[in-house]
Structure 1
Amino acid sequence: MNLRRSAAILSIALSGCVGYEERPVDLLQYEQLFAERPAAVQRAGTLVVEDGVSRGEAEVLALLFDPELRRRRAALVASLGIAENTGKWVDPQLGFEVGQQTADVARPGTIDVRLVFTVPLSGRLEAERAAAEAGVEAALREVLAAEWHARMQLRARWCEWSRAVEQLALQQELIAELEQKLQRLALLRSRGEIDAVELGNWELLLVQQRLQASSLSRECAGLEVELRQRMGFTPEAVLQLLPDASLTELPATTERLALLEVRNVDLATQRASYAVRERELLAAVRAQYPDLQLGPIFQMNSGIDAWLAGLWIPLPIFSGNDLGIAEAIGAREEARAELEGRWEQERHALRRAELDLEATQRDRALVESEWLPRLAEQRERLAKRSARGALDPLLELDLQMALGTARLRVLELRAAEAAATARVLEQIGPIERLDSNTEERN
């Protein structure tokens, strides 16, 4: 009867175990959900993308659907599960001891049934829970850092794509102007006012411009596919992306270092990692102290039943978890060195980003204030000379090429400045006001 009771207790204990359920991945089914994602976004009312996707909306979509961010959030869920199940009492142990007296085989044997509980007097479980909670904080910081980097990197790539789109539009305008120019030059050639070499140079320029337009078209298509990937949409999704290479507002130069210390997402992640090592060291120190083990003992000896109470306590004489403590101390010192090294890296990275931004701003100012105005003046002088009948097709060709190059360069530098601004902001970290654009604030 007592054995049946013990078996019943064991069955109840095993009934609390978690079962296993297989969950195979069906990529064909996922492909259908992947293709329907824009429509699902529309139905959910998350964003209205039918009138085009702006840069700010694309950043929101990237936060929702970027594959790497979704993977990191799944890892965060795993960390939460670990924290929820850390620091629990050790499961009780149910043991059986069966013996037979050898001196008198006629007498029945002995049976001991023990149920042992571990009472955490050392404070080890609280320290383990604190370490697990710090691990969740570190995992959360990693997700937030990844989300911030994803936003800023998408913003920079959006500026590059916008630059390519604007350059392609300008290139097509230049081609249209050249085609009109060639029609007039062909008329002059028919009159004998210019020779075949002069006309041929303009025709070669037109071919070069068409090749450049083809290259820009290919670049636009590649960048757009990349942006769609970052937003979590298929390459074929029916979406209109809206070019935007506007500048992001930055804090004053004198404030950036202080903001870097408190807002940089990678430093925050490293601090959280250091906090985990601190909590793990505390847990290792607490683990050297013994926990109390106690429980009832049911004994059947020679037909006589008895209830006893047992009490056990480990004696930390030889080890005392010295190895675990030494490893935890080493891990903490390594985390400290990583945090200090990360501070140095982020300071240098911020300065490099600032230098890149400053150089781009100088180049853009030089092109807009000197190169373009001088080319415009030169074009006006050449037009006046041509009006007097002094045609110079080669000089006009050189000027036309320089004007096209300068106009394309302006677009390139404006987009480069916007991308460099995003990289500076990426180094500083999230601030209260990210952008003066209304859609961005929304």
Structure 2
Amino acid sequence: MNTALLCLGAGAMTLLGSCVSYKDSPIDLVREEQTWKQQSLAVQGTKPLNLGKIQKIGLVLNADLNQARLKLAHSSNVAQQSGWWNDPSISFDAKQSLEDVSVINLDAGLAFTIPVTGIPSLEKKTAEQYKESDYWALRQAELTYLSTIEQEWKQLGIVRKRKELIAQRVREMKDEDARFSQLYKLGEIDAATRQLTTKNYNTAVRDLQTAEQDELAQRMSLIKQAGFHPAAASVFRLDTSCPMNVPKAVTVPSPGELVSSPQIKSGMAAYAADEIQLKTEIRRQFPELELGPAFTRDDGEKELGGSIGFNIPLWNHNRKAIAEAEGTRNSSRQATIALWRELLQNSRELAQEQQLVRSHCQDELNRLNLFSSNLVKLEQLYKIGETSLADLAEARQQVYESRISFLDSLSKLTRTQTSLRYLIPPSSLAR
């Protein structure tokens, strides 16, 4: 009996040693908010923030990226813990003889499953492929984040430039309105003209209010996308700019270059994992081999030997799992092909859109330059009294509207070019 107890104790200690301990992780939302706010506000230094710094800091603070990193850490841990053989099985039997209570018969066995089908190796490969898929999913999330932040940043610059132009025009129209008021009192313009100039001035004032609201909304959107605390919107000094020129065309990636897209690589890795999973389920049809020593004590006689065992798949077991794995593999294959087609189509659409919108921008810029040249001439004529204030105001309005139209076209072009630029990872994100 002491021998049996000793064996049971050893087995229990082995089981306890293989157990994983639990550690709780409570959520304190108040503390989380305070930490988030401190991290965000600590970013602002003595100099205004530029796009590069915002992008780098946001790579750490963005919630979606951190969630993608946790998913990669999860799959990495799963991959590390995959591929183990099945745990050995230990059996004990102790029987007391009814005829002689001093006689105790013992049976003990230890069985190891020998994975002759190679299933643990396949499970390891499957987990590694899912880890690879999550890795590229994280890279794609970073690429999408960088594209979004650059778009938000440049849109903020355009919104600020629009507000600046509207404010400049409001100041001009305020001065013009005062002059028109004097002309109206002198009877040099009629009531309809006076009413029209007042209406245009009030419209410009409302446009300025709308522009101020747009700037605030765009600033808040940038702060949110970067992962900063909302309090940062009123604290950060952002060094944005918006040159009034047409940016150079962005190179369109070729189909061969698009293969380097993290989105495609993630899909390919997921497909490979599903392919291996199908092979694994097919392998499960075949029996595993069980080997191990055996000990018997019967009526005082001790016997030591071995055991061998395996199951016989008479009923074509695992058919359902194979069918499910095959269906998943086929769906994954089709999804990856569809993803590639969508990416290729998107790149071609962006290329054509860039070409079209760039031509619109250039046309708007040409008109702006022409109107600006005419305005310079009219201002010179107005100074010497050879043109009217109404003609000068109309020329100023023409230049103002042309500038706003150029910014509208530039906004569309900026979004298109940024999307094109981040279809494939830049060198800084290369693996």
C-alpha distance in structure 1 between counterparts of 2:342 and 2:55, whole Å: 26
Aligned mate of 1:29, from 28, 31, 39? 31
8 Å CA contact 2:143, 2:425 repeated in 1: yes
> Residue 251 and residue 257 in structure 1: after superposition, are their counterparts in 2 closer, same or farther (change >3 A)?
farther
8 Å CA contact 2:378, 2:392 repeated in 1: no
- Paired positions, count: 422
1:21 partner amino acid: K
Which has the larger displacement, 68-77 or 184-193? 184-193
8 Å CA contact 2:249, 2:354 repeated in 1: no
> Residue 383 and residue 41 in structure 1: after superposition, are their counterparts in 2 closer, same or farther (change >3 A)?
closer
SS in 2 for 1:294: strand
Query: What is the Cα deviation at residue 86 of structure 1?
Result: 0.6
Residue 88 (structure 1) aligns with: 84
TM-score by length of 2: 0.89
1:410 partner amino acid: F
Query: What is the Cα deviation at residue 371 of structure 1?
Result: 5.0
Query: What is the Cα deviation at residue 356 of structure 1?
Result: 2.2
Residue 72 (structure 1) aligns with: 68
8 Å CA contact 2:371, 2:395 repeated in 1: no
2:418 partner amino acid: A
Residue 167 (structure 1) aligns with: 162
SS in 2 for 1:91: coil
Residue 45 (structure 1) aligns with: none
C-alpha distance in structure 1 between counterparts of 2:306 and 2:248, whole Å: 72
SS in 2 for 1:36: helix
8 Å CA contact 2:163, 2:208 repeated in 1: yes
> Residue 275 and residue 79 in structure 1: after superposition, are their counterparts in 2 closer, same or farther (change >3 A)?
same
Residue 282 (structure 1) aligns with: 279
Aligned mate of 1:340, from 330, 337, 346? 337
C-alpha distance in structure 1 between counterparts of 2:149 and 2:19, whole Å: 45
Which has the larger displacement, 382-391 or 317-326? 382-391
8 Å CA contact 1:364, 1:410 repeated in 2: yes
Alignment partner of 1:178 is 2:173:
yes
Query: What is the Cα deviation at residue 386 of structure 1?
Result: 8.5
Alignment partner of 1:416 is 2:406:
no
C-alpha distance in structure 2 between counterparts of 1:366 and 1:292, whole Å: 77
C-alpha distance in structure 2 between counterparts of 1:390 and 1:242, whole Å: 41
Query: What is the Cα deviation at residue 87 of structure 1?
Result: 0.6
Residue 223 (structure 2) aligns with: 228
C-alpha distance in structure 1 between counterparts of 2:95 and 2:179, whole Å: 115
After superposition, give the CA deviation of every residue in 1:276-335 in whole Å (9 maximum; x if it has no partner).
122222322333333221223333333444333211122233325443333333222222
CA RMSD of aligned residues (A): 2.7
Residue 14 (structure 1) aligns with: 15
Residue 257 (structure 1) aligns with: 255
Aligned mate of 2:124, from 120, 124, 129? 129
Query: What is the Cα deviation at residue 209 of structure 1?
Result: 1.0
> Residue 248 and residue 10 in structure 1: after superposition, are their counterparts in 2 closer, same or farther (change >3 A)?
farther
Residue 325 (structure 1) aligns with: 322
C-alpha distance in structure 1 between counterparts of 2:247 and 2:405, whole Å: 21
Structure 1 gap segments, 5+ residues each: 43-48, 435-442
SS in 2 for 1:236: helix
C-alpha distance in structure 2 between counterparts of 1:142 and 1:252, whole Å: 24
Structure 2 gap segments, 5+ residues each: none
Alignment partner of 1:273 is 2:270:
yes
8 Å CA contact 1:372, 1:406 repeated in 2: no
8 Å CA contact 2:289, 2:310 repeated in 1: yes
Residue 139 (structure 1) aligns with: 134
2:154 partner amino acid: C
C-alpha distance in structure 2 between counterparts of 1:142 and 1:196, whole Å: 66
Residue 362 (structure 1) aligns with: 359
Residue 407 (structure 1) aligns with: 403
Query: What is the Cα deviation at residue 187 of structure 1?
Result: 2.7
C-alpha distance in structure 2 between counterparts of 1:82 and 1:359, whole Å: 49
After superposition, give the CA deviation of every residue in 1:28-70 in whole Å (9 maximum; x if it has no partner).
111111011146557xxxxxx5311111222212211111010
C-alpha distance in structure 2 between counterparts of 1:202 and 1:263, whole Å: 58
